[in-house]
Structure 1
Amino acid sequence: MTAGTRYFLVISTWEAGDASLGLPLDFASFGPGTLQFFAIPAVGQFAPNSTVRSSSAAEVLDALNGGTGAMASAITALSALTPTQQQAALEKLTPVSSRALLLASHDASASAFDRVSARLESLRVVDGAFTTPAFANAGGIKTGLSSGDEPKNSGVWLRTYGSEGKQGSKDGFAGYSSKGWGVAFGADRELATGLIAGLALNYSDTSLSFKDQLTGDNNGVTSTQLSVYGSKDYGRIYSEGMLAYSKKHYKSQRDTVVNGIASGEYDGDLWGVRLGGGMAFALSPSTTITPKIQVDWMQLKQYSYTETGGGALALNVAEATTKRLRASLGAQLNHDAIWGSLKLQPFARVFWHHDFQNDGIDSSASFTGGGATFLTPGQKLDEDTYSVGFGVNVFTAKNFTASVAYDGTFGNSYEQNTVQATARWAF
């Protein structure tokens, strides 16, 4: 035995007699009886090397100290790590509590709302007169620039987009990078002058790769969202609303450090509402600015699941629900121009976003190898972020419109960049 090392005393043989044992290592034998023992290094004591995020899991491992079976082997392997290595390993033994997954879930739905908002924006003429000819042109070019075709009051649209994002390490939570793509399809109709109703279907796929102490871990989420939307024009003022349901499917891979990869697969449901409005102001005969306000509410429910792989360090993760309430203030600048046979409308927009409900997802889990349930606190979202975007709408002589746009969202050591393209047909 090594001086300064803590050991367990394991009694291997105990026969009735006058043998006695006292601690620390104070034993004697009087007459018949047998006492045999051996010493093994004490493992555990993970709590001192844990962080706020992993302390609850570390306490569970300490409570399992001295057990047998697969969990005992895992604890022994973890005990062989240095304190610094243990701290990093303990982070990997908890469910993902970074805001990465929460943002990926919410942003997929918010992006679907943005696609619909962009569609509705394209139906408004520059002077705020939301007329049937404007609908036929599917854009903000004034009715005086109409091709002269018969008014159309129905339309279909298709939009595809790709995005990349990154978050640096913040509040001790690991950073990550994200990549995603999506496609949206919609159909709408003018029910009355200035009143539009429509239906949109959106699919998106986002992958997340973690950095820092979670290097090697990754997650993915796919989202299928159905949205009902509408818009009403009141001269220069408009209002719009959207109601959506989104089905989420998650996949995760987590390196347990000593027991290989633990994989998870589970579902989630999201309900969302967006209400917004704005008022257009003419800066010139061909240029307008429209201040806007919008409010998003979302509720995300992630279902329970059990990981596969990872041995005794695989997790049983409980169901979790979180809500988000976000308000946005901004403005969009539109300019109408003619280039040859094409009608163009370049635009730029800027928004400030404030989250009133920005709590992270606190995860409750337990090891499949045994032990009590532990709680991993979630990372809060940034209260304030801002976004900027620019693009151009292109109108042809027929009932076809196309557009391309870029949007960037920025926060505290966070950014996401999105490029999108849209095609619209009126009939």
Structure 2
Amino acid sequence: MRQQSGDASLLRKLNSAAILRVLREAEAATLSELARAARVSRPTAEVIVDDLLAGGWAEECVEDEAGDRQRGRPAKRFRFRASVGHVAGVGIGRSGVRAMVADLNGGLVTTRRRLLPVDTPAPERVDAVAELVATVAEEAGQAVPELLTVGVGTTGVVDGEGRVVKSVVLPDWTGVRLQEELQARIPVPVVVENDMRLAVLAEHWRGAAQGRSDVVYFFAADRIGIGLLIGGRPHRGAHAASGEIGRQPNQNWIAFRHVMDYAMSVEPGELRSSRQSAEFAIARARAGDERAAKAVREFARGLAGGLITVVNPLDPELVVVGGSLSSAGDLLVEPIQEVLDEYCLYPPRVVASGLGNECITLGAVRYALDHAERLLFTLPR
């Protein structure tokens, strides 16, 4: 039966997507290797690669000719050109907004942060996100419409439509249709997810959880949060609220009282938040203050007590301590590890995150890349 033009067009798209996907996954490949991996003829692969070269999606590798003269002329090799497209990632937190732009291999091009008061009205916060995306895109040499996807991580319970169902951190944030509002301001696809799920995604991509399938990410800063990686994928839960700790009595876990009591006893006239008290005690402990070291140790053991209720039923391989307090390193990690070793049937290893305050934004970049890759490299059906 004679093939119709529509059939030929679909076949061409199938073959192009297959070869582009092979190029994306390979460091470099010859035409023969591409044809074999994509299951097309070599002439078909050659035509498609010529199109990809013309469109900027591929480039020819420059060989070291001096090393190949004795073997004759080597076959041409091609690779995916990551700079042909870019994505942006945004992290929305209590103190402001951070945004990054990366190429299609995840190479970071630029990053910028904007501080915002915690009581910033929701419409102004959304505007600030869109403005910051425009700023980082421009710094990366891109117009916003040229971005392939914008990934956004935000505090709060986020449903499948990118709506903030509930937020206990940002006032006026509950009920915001964040994906819809941003989509009205940003002329490219926008995908929105909970910040803790993106944090554990970032750890799995570029952090301490690389190569691990079951991980608990424990966020310790102005608030406590948890991100769960189960079977290599961030876990959402039945109501997209997986990992949400929610509001705690006195706005903190009872563990913070150890460092808050210590800070108050040393400087009774100084009012500090729970995070500030922890940072104060950690700094004094590093300077050799034994009382501070004891307070930090009890603080860490208190955090571990809460973690046990998550670790025992989930049986993770790893616990990653993130957030601003992760900079305490072994002052927190060692006491937490001791408690888990004592009370867990299979104690996971506990490590401090090395991604710092950029963890959530990096996760948003990875989330945007995943969306862009589905658009670019998935075969049409």
Same fold (TM over 0.5): no
- Under a length normalisation based on structure 1, what TM-score does the superposition of the two structures give? 0.27
- Under a length normalisation based on structure 2, what TM-score does the superposition of the two structures give? 0.30
**Bigger fraction of residues in helix:** 2
Q: Relative contact order (alpha carbons < 8 A, sep ≥ 6): 1 or 2 greater?
A: 2
